[in-house]
Amino acid sequence: MQIDLANLEDFIRGSAFLGTGGGGDPYVGMLMLKQVLNDGMQVTLIDPADFDDEKTAINILTMGAPTVINEKIPSGPANVRALRAAEKELGYAVDAIMPVEAGGINASIPLVVGALTGLPVIDADGMGRAFPELQMTTYNVAGLSSNPNVMADDKDSVALITTVKNIDAERFCRDICVRMGGIGQMACYPLTGKQIKDHAVLNTITLAVEIGQSIRIAREDHDDVVSALLRFLESEHVGRVAKVLFDGKVTDLLRETKGGFSIGRVILDSLAGDGAQLEVVFQNEYLTALKDSTPVAMVPDLICIVDRETSEPITTENLKYGQRVKVVGVSVPEIMRSPQALATFGPAGFGLDVDYRPIELLGA
């Protein structure tokens, strides 16, 4: 699998779906990627299975509230500065880079940086979706350090944070991000090939392209697009549980930018005329879905809101009154459901007072 102008839109749509409402508007990522590809630069993807155990890679991302990222576009060159500062601190040049999350704009940013630097990009990530905080990774769950955490802005400021606990790095970096204007370009979580194979969520760039393909082909074939997408996700190739949690209309929306996050909730009224309501709570990403106050899906399982006709993913900052949507729930791989994983990015990781139950055991 390679990313080029031919499959770029599939990739962007798929990563928007995996973004579960967060990770920034993928349209911005598409524009950035289109520019480097149109300029003749190339992105080289590597399957993690082909990446030597001793080689090294570092994670590349943009930190910031999606609301801000749409106005203050991420800077590829600032990301390269963060990468170089991390290499200086590490004392070696990395062999590759990779996305820390599979969803939203942070799926695209490492590809842009790969094109700018010529470094290959590993087809794997540390979240299998998008999460709002830096410590919410399978690497953190495995006890790996995010040090050095480097953040750069477009005014040539660079911050290098070293902490004992990854959650402290998140807190320092979030403050710096706010000071940088609500967005910062980061490099963190240096990993060996062995660590990636053992602890990353594998082949998620490929998965994003395939999700986008499945939506595009269903549209071309005039199929029911959401049903086609669910069939693909439940296929043996992907192996997820996927279902429509709700079919409704946006009737209420609360969204604020607070402490560097987009925080809020959206209320949907059922289109079936049965008076049912769905409430979806978000912190950058959709965290929990409650149907008439009963949970029907919760993190880390994916909650995705899509246009009910075209299955176009809708991010939290693009939610609008009156939209007719389907809310889709998708199970995550087992590596993301261990007790340690759930403590890190399950409901408890978000301070939510609810015990995790997998989506396949919940009604909808």
Cβ 184 vs Cβ 169: under 8 Å = no
One residue of 111, 159, 207, 299 binding a second copy per CB under 8 A: 159
Name the CA radius of gyration of the chain, rounded: 19
Q: Is 156 in the site for a second copy (CB under 8 A)?
A: yes
Tokens of 325: 């949507």
Of the CA atoms within 13 Å of residue 327, those in its CB half-sphere come to 34
Min CB(180)–a second copy separation in Å: 8
Q: Which of 158, 253, 290, 364 binds a second copy (CB under 8 A)?
A: 158
Given 75, 79, 108, 163, the residue binding a second copy (CB under 8 A): 163
Structure tokens at 364: 């909808």
Count CB atoms within 10 A of the CB of residue 321. 10
Distance in Å from the first CA to the final CA of the chain: 35
Please say which residue, 116 or 160, places its beta carbon nearer to a second copy: 160
- By CB under 8 A, tell whether 279 contacts a second copy: no
- Pair of tokens at residue 277: 């309501």
- Looking at the Cβ atoms of 85 and 281, the one nearer to a second copy is 85
The helix-helix angle for 105-117 and 8-18 (nearest 10°) equals 140
In the block, tokens 């794997």 appear at 124
Residues 46-105 that bind a second copy (CB under 8 A): 85
Binding span for a second copy by CB under 8 A among 35-43, 48-56, 165-173, 245-253:
165-173
Q: Does 168 bind a second copy (CB under 8 A)?
A: yes
Binder to a second copy among 162, 206, 213, 270 (CB under 8 A)? 162
Q: Which is nearer to a second copy, 90 or 228 (CB)?
A: 90
Strands 285-291 vs 149-152: parallel, antiparallel or unpaired: unpaired
Q: How far is the CB of 63 from a second copy (least distance, A)?
A: 14
- The CB-of-160 to a second copy minimum distance in angstroms stands at 4
**Residue 56 in contact with residue 191, Cβ under 8 Å?**
yes
Q: Count Cα neighbours of 3 within 13 Å in the Cβ-side half-sphere.
A: 40
- Nearer to a second copy among residue 156 and residue 334 (C-beta): 156
Among 34, 72, 171, 337, indicate the residue that binds a second copy (CB under 8 A): 171
The span of 32-40, 134-142, 170-178, 314-322 binding a second copy (CB under 8 A) equals 170-178
Phi-psi label, residue 88: left if phi above 0, alpha if psi -120 to 50, beta otherwise: alpha
- At residue 265, what is the residue type? R
Binding of a second copy at residue 27 (CB under 8 A)? Answer: no
Q: Can you tell me which residue has the tokens 């209309």?
A: 249
Closer residue to a second copy, CB minimum distance, 154 or 234: 154
In this structure, the strands spanning 201-202 and 242-258 are unpaired
234 is a contact residue toward a second copy (CB under 8 A): no
Which of 14/132 has CB closer to a second copy?
A: 132
Judged by CB, which is closer to a second copy: 6, or 164?
164
State both tokens at 123.
């087809």
Contact status, residue 202 vs residue 166, Cβ threshold 8 Å: no
Interatomic CA distance for residues 109 and 102, integer angstroms: 11
Cβ 189 to a second copy, closest distance in Å? 17
324-330 and 302-307 beta bridge pairing: antiparallel
- By rule CB under 8 A, what count of residues binds a second copy? 18
Stretch that binds a second copy, among 149-157, 242-250, 270-278, 304-312 (CB under 8 A): 149-157
Residues lying near a second copy in the complex (CB under 8 A):
85, 155-164, 168, 171-172, 175-176, 178-179
